[in-house]
Amino acid sequence: MRSAFHLNDREPVHDICGLLEARGIKVRSISVPNDAFMGLSVGADERGGPAIVVNTWGRLPVETWIFSAVHELGHLLMHLGAYDVAASEEDAAQEREADRFASHFLMPEGAFRREWDETAGLSLLDRVFKVKRVFRVSWRTVLFRVAESMPEASRGGLWARFNAEYKRQRARSLLKHDEPSGIDAEVYHALYSERQLGEEPYGMDAYDFKEDRLARLVRQGLEEGLISLSRGGEILKLPLVEMRELTRSWEACGLQ
């Protein structure tokens, strides 16, 4: 589908609404103050279709709007005959399939692996936040993707570790719709041609300029027995207790 949309395997999705509408899929953004409704889609055979409706309620992160739009695209591609205006319950298997489609459309496997591997020296928290900024997805989408290739028994520990690191660093727990280092609403719906000269529509984030090469080399040196834990801490300018904590964060991803 990325090929059909003229996207290469490394390119993030810059303007999801423009991308869909250029291929004849109408996009309607409405604000519904209810997080039980994220969006819906109707095919070409339905009145007004093909079309996608996305809930852009202000309490939902922009990353959720983008994911919802691509999730609905997945339904149009895989479950075209499933739409039933009279149905009140969703098909759980179809929802999982649409979620997986959205994850891989927004983060192609080769590009995701490359970005994830390059951040191997960072803590799990920093690693997730840096990769999410690259692909303009939520931290949940990145964690789901990492967990996808882990043994099922290890997945719960990954999420627990991430939440523990966030609470330790930010001194509070992550809430349901929290999206730290989130992107600006303009990423979802504004065309680049509409931006005024000199305008900076959405600010960058510290994770857009976060070094990872040195930490990756230190991790490699430790795993190959070339340096000691204390020497790794000296190189990264971390106290030994923080260096131990960082290695536990690496272990949370298993072999990732």
How far apart CA 147 and CA 141 sit, in angstroms, is 10
Q: Per-residue pLDDT for 58 more than 60?
A: yes
Q: Per-residue pLDDT for 10 more than 50?
A: yes
CA 111 to chain centre: 13
The answer to whether the predicted template modeling score (pTM) of the entire model surpasses 0.75 is yes
CA 80 to chain centre: 25
84, containing H or E segment: none
The answer to whether 229 and 223 are in contact (CB under 8 A) is no
How far apart CA 73 and CA 93 sit, in angstroms, is 16
How far apart CA 68 and CA 117 sit, in angstroms, is 27
46: pLDDT confidence band, cut at 50, 70 and 90? confident
What pLDDT shows up at residue 103?
96
What pLDDT shows up at residue 184?
80
The answer to whether 117 and 98 are in contact (CB under 8 A) is no
Q: Per-residue pLDDT for 187 more than 80?
A: no
What pLDDT shows up at residue 207?
58
- pLDDT single digits (tens) 195-249: 343 444 444 455 555 567 889 999 999 999 999 999 999 998 999 999 999 998 9
Q: Which residues pair with 30 in a beta bridge?
A: 55
What does the chain come to in residues?
256
How far apart CA 212 and CA 216 sit, in angstroms, is 6
The residue among 255 and 154 whose pLDDT is bigger is 154
What pLDDT shows up at residue 89?
64
What pLDDT shows up at residue 82?
62
Which residues neighbour 114 within 8 Å (Cβ) at sequence distance 6 or greater?
none
Burial class (CB in 10 A: 0-12, 13-18, 19+), 206: exposed
3-class DSSP state of 232 = helix
193: pLDDT confidence band, cut at 50, 70 and 90? very low
What pLDDT shows up at residue 180?
87
Q: Is 222 left (phi over 0), alpha (psi -120 to 50) or beta?
A: alpha
- pLDDT single digits (tens) 63-114: 999 999 999 999 999 987 665 555 556 688 999 999 999 999 999 999 999 9
191: pLDDT confidence band, cut at 50, 70 and 90? very low
**Two tokens, residue 75:** 């339904």
Mean pLDDT of 143-160: 91
14: pLDDT confidence band, cut at 50, 70 and 90? confident
Output b/e per residue, 17-44; b: 16+ Cβ within 10 A.
bbbbeeeebebebeeeeeeeebbbbbbe
Among 5-19, 26-40, 159-173, the minimum mean pLDDT is found in 5-19
49: pLDDT confidence band, cut at 50, 70 and 90? confident
| Residue type present at position 246 | L
251: pLDDT confidence band, cut at 50, 70 and 90? confident
How far apart CA 112 and CA 243 sit, in angstroms, is 26
